[in-house]
């Protein structure tokens, strides 16, 4: 396997995004130093700049989890095979993806240990020990962890053997509370995707065939990529009593009856970063939405001759901004300003602050927005030094809104409400985007569409037109569904 | 293995700390809900209250890492066997402790994959790819991760198969810079231990036999436990060019010569939490130093009859304190105040805030300090409601200082500068504490002391008395060394 070390392509240029999204994506992830391929098939290293994205995702999601009453905990990486196999659907869903530990130290193990592909099992076993009474409920726990699913392909963030994620696991006294929790966390994910990552999504219910193994109902948020394929960006599962019955998680209710709890689980992984990169990037490279940006603004001092005045002023301003909580950097490397502009544009920093000799005289900086094209209205803003602290926050918010609006416009212009069967199949086949139809909800119908077009349901919502028939098959429609090809 | 699930003792009472530190420790960790035993031998679950400790450790250490120029990254969990075996001493040190993945999905692997026992290897391989020029140096990266070392015993935080830690890995152009980095991070650990965890430590250099496998020099901080045994709480390793030569990490220096880099690594794990618990706890349970406390202060409203005034006032004050950044909780459960006092004392919350009917009338709260004994001067302080926000910060700082001073007094009263050989062996044997002697530095001498007393060197510092002879063997002394039995 160690030959893989050599196989990382040397990225010189980023290919045009529209021509080959996949090549563009890989080149951007590598060249911007978000990731490197690791010497283990299917694995990547999250480099500091990529980890900076993950830290911001963690910060914003974790705040939201805590604000909704959740606490973090940590459960073991290894799960004995005998425990994993108790919930039948679950094990069937995950067994083909499990990496097995069979030797420890010098010893062959009597029982294989699975590296967690997800933690419902180990957490269910612990909840069975911890929960005794209705007073112990609800249990609202989240875990930030690495998980592993056997996988040979490697696409940074989208498809890797090991990945980072969070997994929430909760237990409730009633089905109603569990369903409310499932929906609440879906709302948290929607809020995060749109208001932090600036990625508009459709939130809804998964079809039966797309459900999490062992779930009663799975919800998802789905984003649309520039190639017309959908990317599932987070899921929230109502597990009903399936896991509590398999792992015997019971409580004494206030009526003195022993009952099984209702559980949920919900997760977002570094896949969300992949969605964000594809949605926002352009031919110059990454465009990182400000709330996710490891560097919100980069100073490029323009040095004339031997004078270090611009560099010193940039450092002074940067320190003042840091004291106000901004994430800023000063690029004082021995390179031309043009080289630095291209470099930081490629790395997607939302704002560039240029300080040249004339700016020093007038005590103003030129702030350049990454979200706009060169020459576009508002792409450059002159800001007096003493107003940078106040103005940057506004500008970053404006960049966020403009990036969100651009992505929203794309999503809306690539969402089609279709009533004609032929048009539906044609749009599915040509990967036109999100194809919205009244749908019967039958697995057979979904399977036929998939066989003919390779599109599947992304998620569903209540039927928008009472009495409509399924556009795909003509049976009575039960819901509205977005169909799309997907990652 | 799954029978282990049942084996967790039901903790009713916490045994006296002085009588049996080990029994006290296990009981406190379980009863305070820091950890639970997991259904995998050697593993524990870090429950929300325990994870709260870890989050505070992470926050304070991570701030310090970033302030010293480090960035976080994430490297893969699995390491191919062929890579692991390149640095001879390293693999010899770790091979007996490795868990091996030999099957993935349905497939038998051609090459075994190790679950990382530490990440020098995988990180060294990546550094070899990333580092080309002296302009790329230094590389200053830290990783927060789970690691696994095959282990059958389970002692929460102290000895577990899987544990959480951070591992810093840096690369430098010169031996001098690498040594400076190693010492800088030792200082960071000392600062954290003393000023956050309130645990006084001795910082110094490990003897050759206690060095990290593959290191040129290992530094450590050592804390003293109440049973007279030392606990190594963090280590910092100067790896010289051992790893850069094994993994071929080279750079073109400014003189155009190709050279091997100098690397360091340094780590602190959740073991530090174990040290903190043992150093500070008492017969009533945990005593958590304020900067590590998940809950800094707990409100216990004293309800008389049907009135909810005390609860409402507590919630109002708690919200105001939260807005100022305090971590507080209101205990409004249906239990007696006495039960709640005992509960929160056992869980080690630094301050308890009592609000009863008379307090409501006088608009004052009674603040009770966990670091003091009942009846001791200053154990209870009456604070007007409108001064709580200002006064709590001072009180928490006072609690920190008093806990640190108590621990420091214990360490100093159990540190013995010994010049007599018989007394030295006697003190080592009886586990008197840290035994400080002029020492020859010879492995043979250390081995003899260990064989006779089971004590080893903890760490060493420059010789304090020029010309002294080794107290253990009479050869010329080279350093001063602390000897102790250890965890």
Name residue, tokens 């960071």: B188
**Distance between CA atoms of residues A425 and A449, nearest Å:** 7
Distance from chain centroid for Cα A193 = 7
Q: Which residues of A are less than 8 Å from B2 in CB distance?
A: 80, 82-83, 125
3-state DSSP of chain B: CHHHHHHCCCCCCCCCCCCCHHHHHHHHHHHCCCEEECCCCCCEEECHHHHHHHHHHHHHHHHHHHHCCCEECECCCEEEHHHHCCCHHHHHHHHHHCEEEEEECCEEEEEEEEECCCCHHHHHHHHHHHCCEHHHCCEEEEEEEEEECCCCCCECCCECCEEEEEEEEEEECCHHHHHHHHHHHHHHHHHHHHHCCCCCCEEEECCHHHCCCCCCEEEEEEEECCCCCEEEEEEEEEEECHHHHHCCCEEECCCCCEEECEEEEEEEECHHHHHHHHHHCECCECCCCHHHCCCCEEEEECCCCCCCHHHHHHHHHHHHHHHCCCCEEECCCCCCHHHHHHHHHHCCCCEEEEECHHHHHHCEEEEEECCCCCCCCCCEEEEEHHHHHHHHHHHHHHHHHHHHHHHHHHHHHCEEECCCHHHHHHHHHCCCCEEEEEECCCHHHHHHHHHHHCCEEEEEEECCCCCCECCCCCCECCEEEEEECEC
Write out pLDDT tens, residues B86-125: 777 777 778 789 999 999 988 999 999 999 999 999 999 9
Are the beta carbons of A30 and A286 closer than 8 angstroms?
A: no
β-sheet with A434-439: strand ranges across: A71-72, A139-148, A162-172, A262-269, A230-240, A217-224, A202-205, A456-462, A479-484, A434-439, A415-417
DSSP A164: E
Q: Which residues of A are less than 8 Å from B50 in CB distance?
A: 73
**Chain B residue nearest residue A45, CA to CA:** B75
Are the beta carbons of B56 and B348 closer than 8 angstroms?
A: no
Q: Which residues of B are less than 8 Å from A111 in CB distance?
A: 1
Map residue A95 onto helix, strand or coil.
helix
pLDDT at residue number B456? 97
Are the beta carbons of A13 and A21 closer than 8 angstroms?
A: no
Q: Is B148 on the interface with A (CB under 8 A)?
A: yes
HSE of A147, CA atoms in CB hemisphere, 13 A? 26
Q: Which residue has the higher pLDDT, A12 or B25?
A: B25
Name residue, tokens 């800088």: B184
Chain B residues 73-102 with a CB less than 8 Å from chain A: 73-80, 82-83, 96-102
Q: Is A44 on the interface with B (CB under 8 A)?
A: yes
Q: In a mutagenesis test of the A interface, which of B31, B67, B78 is the best target, namely the one with the most A β-carbons within 10 Å?
A: B78
Write out pLDDT tens, residues B318-335: 999 999 999 999 999 989
pLDDT at residue number B9? 57
β-sheet with B297-301: strand ranges across: B328-330, B297-301, B351-355, B364-369, B380-384
- Mean pLDDT for B336-360 is 96
Do the strands A107-115 and A99-104 form a parallel or antiparallel pair, or are they unpaired?
antiparallel
Are the beta carbons of B192 and B226 closer than 8 angstroms?
A: no
Per-residue pLDDT of chain A (487 residues; tens, 9 = 90+): 333 444 555 567 899 999 999 999 999 999 999 999 999 989 999 999 999 999 999 999 999 999 999 999 999 999 999 998 877 777 787 878 999 999 998 899 999 999 999 999 999 999 999 999 999 999 999 999 999 999 888 899 999 999 999 999 999 999 999 999 999 999 999 999 999 999 999 999 999 999 998 899 999 999 999 999 999 999 999 999 999 999 999 999 999 999 999 999 999 999 999 999 999 999 999 999 999 999 999 999 998 888 889 999 999 999 999 999 999 999 999 899 999 999 999 999 999 999 999 999 999 999 999 999 888 999 999 999 999 999 999 999 999 999 999 999 999 999 999 999 999 999 999 999 999 999 999 999 999 999 999 999 999 999 999 999 999 999 999 999 999 999 9
Q: In a mutagenesis test of the B interface, which of A76, A170, A329 is the best target, namely the one with the most B β-carbons within 10 Å?
A: A76
Give Cβ neighbours of residue A383 (< 8 Å, ≥ 6 apart). A364, A365, A366, A367, A391, A392
- Give strand pairing partners of A37: A44
How big is the CA angle at A43 (ends A38 and A49), to the nearest 5 degrees?
70
pLDDT at residue number A9? 57
Q: Is A397 on the interface with B (CB under 8 A)?
A: no
Residue B65 preceded by cis peptide, ω within 30: no
Please name the member of B5, B40, B112 whose beta carbon is closest to the beta carbon of A76.
Answer: B40
At B41, phi and psi to the nearest 5? -50, 135
Neighbours of A427 (CB within 10 A): 23
Are the beta carbons of A96 and B87 closer than 8 angstroms?
A: no
Distance from chain centroid for Cα A146 = 15
Distances from the Cα of A392 to the Cαs of A56, A60, A302, A398, B94, in angstroms?
Answer: 19, 20, 20, 10, 50
Please name the member of A45, A99, A130 whose beta carbon is closest to the beta carbon of B75.
Answer: A45
Which stretches of A196-287 are DSSP H helices? 242-246, 271-280
Least confident of A340-349, B301-310, B340-349, B418-427: B301-310
Q: Which residues of A are less than 8 Å from B126 in CB distance?
A: 36, 38, 45
Chain A residues 449-478 with a CB less than 8 Å from chain B: none
Are the beta carbons of B157 and B29 closer than 8 angstroms?
A: yes
Name residue, tokens 């379980």: B30
Question: What does chain B come to in residues?
Answer: 487
Pick the closest to residue A109 from B148, B40, B118 (CA basis): B40
How big is the CA angle at A207 (ends A205 and A212), to the nearest 5 degrees?
85
Burial class (CB in 10 A: 0-12, 13-18, 19+), A19: exposed
CB contact under 8 A, B36 and A82: no
Task: Give me the total of CB pairs closer than 8 Å, taking one residue from chain A and one from chain B.
Answer: 172
**Distance between CA atoms of residues A154 and A30, nearest Å:** 13
Q: Which residues of A are less than 8 Å from B101 in CB distance?
A: 99-102, 115
Pick the closest to residue A233 from A279, A287, A182 (CA basis): A279
Pick the closest to residue A89 from A208, A226, A260 (CA basis): A208
Map residue A116 onto helix, strand or coil.
coil
Could you tell me the two tokens for B188? 């960071």
């Amino acid at each position: 396997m160690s030959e893989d070390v050599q196989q990382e392509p040397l990225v010189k240029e980023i290919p045009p995004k529209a021509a080959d999204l996949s090549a563009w994506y890989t080149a951007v992830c590598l060249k911007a130093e978000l990731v490197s391929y690791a010497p283990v098939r299917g694995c990547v290293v999250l480099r500091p700049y990529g980890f900076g994205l993950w830290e911001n995702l963690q910060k914003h999601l974790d705040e939201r989890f805590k604000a909704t009453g959740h606490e973090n905990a940590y459960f073991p990486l290894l799960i004995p095979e005998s425990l994993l196999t108790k919930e039948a659907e679950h094990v069937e869903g995950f067994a083909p993806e499990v990496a097995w530990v069979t030797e420890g130290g010098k010893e062959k193990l009597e029982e294989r240990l699975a590296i967690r592909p997800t933690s419902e099992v180990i957490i269910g076993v612990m909840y069975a020990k911890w929960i005794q009474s209705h007073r112990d409920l609800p249990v609202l726990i989240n875990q930030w962890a690495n998980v592993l699913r056997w996988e040979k392909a490697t696409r940074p963030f989208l498809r890797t053997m090991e990945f980072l994620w969070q997994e929430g696991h909760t237990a409730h006294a009633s089905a109603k509370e569990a369903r409310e929790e499932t929906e609440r966390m879906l709302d948290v994910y929607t809020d995060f995707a749109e208001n932090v990552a600036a990625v508009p999504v459709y939130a809804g219910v998964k079809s039966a065939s797309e459900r999490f193994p062992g779930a009663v109902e799975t919800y998802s948020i789905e984003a649309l990529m520039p190639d017309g394929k959908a990317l599932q960006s987070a899921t929230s599962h109502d597990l009903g009593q399936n896991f509590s019955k398999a792992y015997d998680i019971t409580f004494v209710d206030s009526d003195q009856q022993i009952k099984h709890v209702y559980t949920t689980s919900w997760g977002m992984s570094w896949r969300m970063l992949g969605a964000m990169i594809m949605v926002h990037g352009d031919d110059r490279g990454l465009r990182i939405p400000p709330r996710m940006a490891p560097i919100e603004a980069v100073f490029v001092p323009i040095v004339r001759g031997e004078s270090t005045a611009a560099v010193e002023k940039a450092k002074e301003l940067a320190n003042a901004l840091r004291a106000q909580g901004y994430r800023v950097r000063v690029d004082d490397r021995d390179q031309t300003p043009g080289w630095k502009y291209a470099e930081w544009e490629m790395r997607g920093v939302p704002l560039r602050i240029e300080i040249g000799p004339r700016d020093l005289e007038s005590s103003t900086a030129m702030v350049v927005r990454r979200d706009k094209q060169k020459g576009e209205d508002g792409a450059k803003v002159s800001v007096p030094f003493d107003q940078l602290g106040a103005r940057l926050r506004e500008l970053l918010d404006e960049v966020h809104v403009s990036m969100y609006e651009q992505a929203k416009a794309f999503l809306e212009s690539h969402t089609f409400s279709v009533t004609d069967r032929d048009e539906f199949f044609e749009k599915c086949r040509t990967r036109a985007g999100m194809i919205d139809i009244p749908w019967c909800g039958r697995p057979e119908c979904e399977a036929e569409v998939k066989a003919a077009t390779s599109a599947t349901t992304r998620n569903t919502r209540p039927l928008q037109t009472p009495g409509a028939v399924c556009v795909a098959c003509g049976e009575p429609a039960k819901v509205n569904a977005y169909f799309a090809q997907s990652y």
